[in-house]
Structures are given as C-alpha cells and as structure tokens.
Structure 1
Amino acid sequence: MVPKGWTPSQIGDVAKFSSGGTPSKQNADYWGGTEPWISGKDLKTHYLETSIDALTEAGFQAAKKAPKGATLVLVRGMTLLKDFPVGYATREVAFNQDVKALVPAKNVDGLFLSFLLVAEKHKILQLVSTAGHGTGRLDTHSLQEYPVNIPPLPEQKKIAQILSTWDKAIATTEQLLANSQQQKKALMQQLLTGKKRLGMPDNSYDFKKTRYGIIPKDWEYPAIKDVCTQVTEKNTESADYPVLSCSKYDGFVDSLKYFKKKVYSDDTSGYRLIHRGCFGFPSNHIEEGSIGLQNLYDTGIVSPIYVIFRAKPKKVENTYLYAVLKTDHYRQIFGAATNASVDRRGSLRWKEFSLIHVPLPPLEEQQRIAVVLSTADQEISALQQKLEALKQEKKALMQQLLTGKRRVKVDDKEVA
C-alpha cells in the first residue's frame, strides 16, 4: 500500500545511472594523490569523501566522476554474493567500473535515496546473479526497474535529516569506543610490562632482561607449568553441559548462541570439561589469539582438540594472566612455538605450551592490575552495548520512516 501523498515509482525514474572507470594505471602522474577514487572496498562506509586508492588532480580530471549528492552502489564483485554496499557522495568523487553512480532527479533528495537503498538491500540482493569466476553481478536494468515509493521532497529531506542525526550519534559512539580500546591497549602495555606500576613512583625500581622483554627485578618469570596445571577431564557420561567455543576477540562463547546453529558433534562423550575459572585454547588455532578464560558457566564442554589448564590461585590472579596471554606479543610467541612443534598438524600441545614463560608480579599487584583492566573492560562493554542499541534503533526507525508507517513533521505540520 502506497502512503498518502507518496508516489509509486522505479529507481530508474528517480535517478540517472552513470558508469565508472579506471584511469590508466600506466600513468604514474594519475595515482598517489588525495582525490577520492571509489571502488567496492570503499563502500564499507556510508558517507563517501575519501578512498583507499586515491588520484592526483590530473588523474581525477581524467576519471569518470559522480557529483556531490549521488548514491554509489556496487554492481559487480564477490561482495555482492552476501551484501549490497551503498554509499553517499558528500563531495564530487571518481569511481571505478564495478560501481554505478545514481544521480538523483531534481525532485529527489540524494541522501534520502541512499537510505532507501540501504533499507531495501536484502530484497535487492535477490536480483544478484553469479558471473564468471564466481563473482556477483547486479543487472543495471533490474535495479532500474526496482519499485520504490517516493514521498514529497520536503518529507524526503526531513527523513534524511533524522537518519543522518542517528548516524552522527553512531559515529560519535564508535569513536569513543575506539578511543577506549586504544587507551586500554596502551594501559596494558604499561602495566603488564611493569613500565608503570600502581602505587609506585616511576624510576623507583630496577629492571631485568627476559625473553619477554624488560620487566621489574622483583617480578618472577616462571614457565606456565610452574604456576598452572593441566585439566584433562572428559565428559564420559555425556552430560548435557553447554558446548563452548573460543573466539579470537571474545574468548569463550556459547557455541549455539554465537553461531546460531549447531556446529558440534551429537556425541559429546569425548569432549573435555572446562570448569569456571579454567583457561583453554584450541591447539590448532592459538597462534591466532584464540585463548579464553571460562567465566560463562560453572561447567561447560569443549572439543577434544582443546587444551585446558587451571592457574594456581595462591600464585596467579586469573584476570591478570588472561590479559598477558591475550596480548599481541604472546600471540606471536604462540605462533613461534607452534611452528617449532614436532606436531605435524601444526598444533600446540600442553607439553610445549607449558614451557612458555610469563611475567608475574606479586599476587597483590596482579590483583590491582586486574581491577584496573576490569574497569576499562566495563567501560568498553558499556560503549559496545550503547553502539549496538543505537544501530538497532536506527534500523527500526528506517523501517518505519522509509515505508511511511511513521510520518514526520514538515514546516511544523504533521504529514498524515
């Protein structure tokens, strides 16, 4: 049903389609500048003003360009098999042959059109066919004939203004999240190496050299086997414990909830038990940083390929050790140990893993470090939740505004 005052139309009637191209790669004077040349990989962001590959002024003048206010969409490429990227040109941009520019008609607001295409992307994806070499292809005529309902121009502009305000809130929150993550990373670099110590003035303690790097003299540098013990319990009774997986960034996750489908065996009798407070990693993926601290359930189970271990509580604060093992430095150590392992499957077993050394402050200092890092994690988690809520609220708002189910006020008058 068409909302009152809206006009049923097709995309080809409300925008002129323009094809892009690639300036000569043989002409060095064309490349390496600052002028945006948009390709599919630049359409990961909605607002287009910069690009990964950029042109010089000469290259920009020689290129095919789209004006400010145009909508750019991908019509060829692997990405089309799973997504329909849409971007809005906030300035004049050049673009390549895998992209089409939709230049809006005079009675169409370009930003509104870009939001409308984003809202319709899942339906438009059904028009994508598979071209040579398994790439996706979106036929121009099919896209031009795609039906849309267009409100009057003032209402278009108001809808676009509202949605762009949400985008600004999302962008602000994304920047705050990135800043918090970077601050935590810098804090970890300081605290986990002893370059900064809580409650101790700088230059008030001496350092010693280890394979990990420089650490305070009063810190220990034990092998993992000296402060942790392996756990090898199996789910021999096939108890109905939740099956867990370990991800690179999130640590342990509930497999069913995370993958939204069953990716494990029906027979879990050979799976390993992992109790709360235990560490674990898949022996064939630890070099990617996939190591976790299990704090989801009192008891879970993991695939037989996992190595499970428990830290000695009188020597180790779990949160501190987990932070150390999740650093990029230790991911590199795990990779080197895996490459040196005699296991032909490229796995890192407990025997080799347990020989790796870790920097270990006194237990009380570990606990203080853990509190600081936990506080940083809470701030990051709160921002992640806020960001997800903003994205979901914007998605719901788009569904309401771009279909006319919810109308907006234009010139202080409610559109009915």
Structure 2
Amino acid sequence: MKTPANWQSVLMHRIADVRSGLSKSSNREGQSVKKPYMRVANVQDGFIDLSEVQEIDVPINQVARFTLMPGDILLIEGNGNPENLGRGCIWGGQIPDCVHQNHVFAVRTLKDAKLLPDFLMLQLQSRRGRNYLLSCAKSSTGLATLNASQLNQFPVHLPPLPEQRKIAEILRTWDEAIEKLTALRSANLSRRIWMRSHLFTGRIRLPGHTGAWREVTLGKVLTEHGLNGAGAEEVFSVSVHKGLINQIEHLGRSFAAADTGHYNRVLPGDIVYTKSPTGEFPLGIIKQSKIAQEVIVSPLYGVFTPATHALGVILDALFESPIAVRNYLHPLVQKGAKNTIAITNRRFLEGKLRLPMDPAEQAAIAEVAITTQAELACIDAEIDALTRQKRGLMQKLLTGEWRVKVETN
C-alpha cells in the first residue's frame, strides 16, 4: 500500500541516531566511573523492569556517549531468540545517569526530524516493523540478532507531527486500558497465591466450617481407575496455562499412535499428572480435567479420580504453583541421567497433603477457587480482545489506510 500524499517514507538513519551500547567485556583504559546500566533483562515489551539494576564501569571520556536520555527508544538485538527481536520500550529517565549495554540499542530521534519517539516506537511494534526486523535477523549462525546497520535502513513512515501525535494518543488509550486490566490480573493472581497459603492449608477457615483437616496420602483421596480409550475419544495433551487441551489445537497436529486403545481415559474432573519436565515445572504438571466429555491422554500420563469433585478443584488450584508441585513431587521422583523423570503412578499417590475432610467445606473452598479462576479467565479474554483491537488499529492508522482528524488552529 502506498503512503498518503502528505506522508514521507524516510530511512531511519536520516531522522534518528541508532546507538550501540557498552560492552561488558571490553578493556577499560584510563579512569572509569560506575554507572547503572540497562541490560536485556531490564528492557521488556512496553516497560522497563527495574527489579534488578546492575552497575558497570564506564570510561569517564565515554560517559556522555552511552548515557540514556528521556525519549530514547530501547530495543534489544534479539539475544538469539526471534521472538525477542526489537523488543523494547521508551526510556523515561527513571534512573539518572543510566547507560546501556551493547545488546541494547538506544534509538534517539534527531531534533529537526519532526518525529515523535512514541510514533516511531509504534511503527517498530507494528506488523510492518516486526516483519522488517524478522527479515533482517541474522540466522547464519542459528542465532537471530539485529545490528545497527539494519536498524538504520528501516523505512519510517512520517506523517505531519499533529497527525503523529493524534495517532499516538488514540493507541495510548488502548495501552492504558490493557495496563489497568493487567494490574487487575496481577491482583487476582496475588489473591490466588494468598488462597494457596491460607485457605488451602486450613490456616484461614471459611465462616461456618469447623470440620477436621488431616494430613493424608493422595492415595486416600485419589483413585487410579485404569480405564482405557474406547476408540472414539479425542486425544488431549496437558498445558501449563490451559490445562487439558486438544492435542491438535495445542501442538498443531496429533502425535498419537494409530491405535489409541491403550491410551488412558480421562473422566470429567479427573486429576492428570504428566511426567515430563516443562519450564517452571521440572518434575511435571498436575491438572484437573475441566472438559465436559471423556477424552484420552498418552499412557505415560497418570490419571486419577478424586474422592469428590471439589477435592479435585482444590488440588488443581493448589498445584498451579510451581513451588507446591516441586514440594510435593521432589521426595517422590527419581531423575535419570538425561533429565528423565522416574515415578510410578503408585509412588505418585504416596505423597502427603493436609486437606479438609468435610465434603461441605471442600465444596465451599472449591467454589471460591472456581470463582477466582472464572474472573481470571474473563480478564484474560478482555486483555486478548483489546490487544487484538490495538493490533488492528495499528495496521490501519500507521499505514495511513485510516486517517485521523486533526484540529487546526
């Protein structure tokens, strides 16, 4: 699509200065001074993470060259991961006299360029910007990275300043809505963490419930029913974030054997234990099936029916936590030389947890867990919808396909 008549298309190096950062390993000759610096870990997608800011020795005669200024666009070179190419945000001067590492570019718009940093950042984040960065990524060594020369050749669409400002304001409205929902999501997750340490341990009791809590083996509350597939069930896998999910939907295709008669059948509400290390869950994942119909999973998975559906809900919510899963499984699992997990289904049931024995209290606790999970799902759906809306708006507004009305004095 052609740019509108009153827009320009200008290469980055004509309107911005792309600055490489300071190398940690370079020799420091002469006097130097310690300065806080931005690493790849600090530069996230749309925000600066200041939870851990380190210092670096900077030669005194190079301090000005590497010092960040408010309005600088920070972009990471990729660090070998294509998904990280061009990840970045705008530096707001959060830390005085801060410099940047060589894996983080600082893009500074020139004073006479008539280009807003916010507008340039939006273009780099847009579909066109992402496609350009991906097309430039070096892959000859198997590591996707960018260099300053490639960034300097990025074609920037340059509408008049009032139009840039209006487009940035419109898209900022979506960002603010997403930020508010993200904060609400964090509050929901914090509440669920509190529930795991208080409500699910009996430290805090729901009003009206005084029944006994006992430390029992999971074998007392879970039963391995041993049912196999009948041949008509769909094959499912287990995801950290989505729980039981259709294997084709999750992985793009089915990895099931031609004959699935020996696969384990999963009933609605069953607890499924995967014996595969995954990300934050090096000893496997424990999830409850929230699927309304019977499905089947790999025979490598353990499948167990809880004494009550509510107990299954409680176990599912408890084992959302990587720490809770590790604490339960670590005494039970043996790890092989190739990081394989050795644990039988019988051994899995030998671990102990402190659980409520009264079915009424189990149901009440489960209802709280279900409610907070439903709230979280609604928040995630809203964030996803707003993110897709913003992406669509960016495609229209940043190419000039949709024009904005700009007030003239």
TM-score category, normalised to shorter length: 0.7 to 0.9
Identify the match of residue 394 of structure 1 among 390, 397, 401: 390
Matching residue of 1:15:
16
2:104 matched to 1:110? no
Secondary structure, aligned partner of 1:231: coil
Q: 1:66 to 1:358 in 2, by over 3 A?
A: closer
Matching residue of 1:212:
none
Secondary structure, aligned partner of 2:85: coil
Q: Distance in 2 between matches of 1:265 and 1:30?
A: 63
State the AA in 1 paired with 2:178.
I
Identify the match of residue 74 of structure 1 among 67, 73, 76: 76
In the TM superposition, what are the counterparts of 1:39-188 in structure 2 within 5 Å? 39-48=39-48, 50=50, 52-55=52-55, 62=63, 64-75=66-77, 77-80=79-82, 83-91=85-93, 93-105=98-110, 106=112, 107-119=114-126, 120-130=129-139, 134-188=142-196
2:371 matched to 1:364? no
Identify the match of residue 308 of structure 1 among 303, 307, 316: 303
In the TM superposition, what are the counterparts of 1:280-319 in structure 2 within 5 Å? 280-285=272-277, 288=283, 290-313=285-308, 317-319=311-313
Q: 1:59 to 1:355 in 2, by over 3 A?
A: farther
Matching residue of 1:2:
3
Residue 137 of structure 1 and its aligned partner are, at CA, apart by: 3.1
Q: Deviations over 1:26-57 (max 9, x none)?
A: 99x955x7x4x223222323244847433389
**Kept after mapping to 2: 8 A contact 1:7/1:149:** yes
Q: Distance in 2 between matches of 1:112 and 1:180?
A: 33
Q: Given the two structures, how large is their TM-score scaled by the length of structure 1?
A: 0.83
Matching residue of 2:327:
332
Q: Distance in 1 between matches of 2:363 and 2:155?
A: 61
**Kept after mapping to 2: 8 A contact 1:74/1:80:** no
Q: 1:131 to 1:88 in 2, by over 3 A?
A: farther
In the TM superposition, what are the counterparts of 1:160-309 in structure 2 within 5 Å? 160-200=168-208, 218-235=212-229, 239-285=231-277, 288=283, 290-309=285-304
Q: Distance in 1 between matches of 2:117 and 2:382?
A: 29
Over the matched positions of the two proteins, sequence identity in percent amounts to 23
State the AA in 2 paired with 1:255.
Q
Residue 198 of structure 1 and its aligned partner are, at CA, apart by: 1.1
Secondary structure, aligned partner of 1:336: coil
Q: Distance in 2 between matches of 1:81 and 1:389?
A: 21
Q: 1:23 to 1:289 in 2, by over 3 A?
A: closer
Residue 397 of structure 1 and its aligned partner are, at CA, apart by: 1.1
State the AA in 2 paired with 1:379.
E
**Kept after mapping to 2: 8 A contact 1:230/1:308:** yes
Q: Deviations over 1:371-395 (max 9, x none)?
A: 1111111221111111111111111
**Kept after mapping to 2: 8 A contact 1:248/1:289:** no
**Kept after mapping to 2: 8 A contact 1:81/1:128:** no
State the AA in 1 paired with 2:46.
H
Q: Given the two structures, how large is their TM-score scaled by the length of structure 2?
A: 0.84
Secondary structure, aligned partner of 1:222: strand
Q: Distance in 1 between matches of 2:399 and 2:215?
A: 63
Q: Distance in 1 between matches of 2:162 and 2:318?
A: 56
Note the aligned Cα RMSD (angstroms): 3.1
Q: Distance in 2 between matches of 1:316 and 1:79?
A: 42
Residue 240 of structure 1 and its aligned partner are, at CA, apart by: 3.7
Q: Distance in 2 between matches of 1:288 and 1:398?
A: 42
Residue 124 of structure 1 and its aligned partner are, at CA, apart by: 1.8
The count of residues paired between Structure 1 and Structure 2 equals 390
**Kept after mapping to 2: 8 A contact 1:288/1:331:** yes
Q: Distance in 2 between matches of 1:321 and 1:49?
A: 33
Q: Distance in 2 between matches of 1:81 and 1:369?
A: 40
2:364 matched to 1:351? no
**Kept after mapping to 1: 8 A contact 2:333/2:342:** yes
Q: 1:319 to 1:108 in 2, by over 3 A?
A: same
**Kept after mapping to 2: 8 A contact 1:40/1:99:** yes
Q: Distance in 2 between matches of 1:253 and 1:382?
A: 18
Residue 200 of structure 1 and its aligned partner are, at CA, apart by: 4.7
**Kept after mapping to 2: 8 A contact 1:16/1:102:** yes
Matching residue of 2:403:
407
Q: Distance in 1 between matches of 2:310 and 2:177?
A: 41
Residue 234 of structure 1 and its aligned partner are, at CA, apart by: 2.2
Residue 186 of structure 1 and its aligned partner are, at CA, apart by: 0.3
Residue 109 of structure 1 and its aligned partner are, at CA, apart by: 0.7
Secondary structure, aligned partner of 2:74: strand
Q: Distance in 1 between matches of 2:311 and 2:48?
A: 47
State the AA in 2 paired with 1:262.
S
**Kept after mapping to 2: 8 A contact 1:224/1:358:** yes
**Kept after mapping to 2: 8 A contact 1:279/1:292:** yes
**Kept after mapping to 2: 8 A contact 1:66/1:94:** yes
Gaps of 5+ in 1: 206-215
Q: 1:340 to 1:103 in 2, by over 3 A?
A: closer
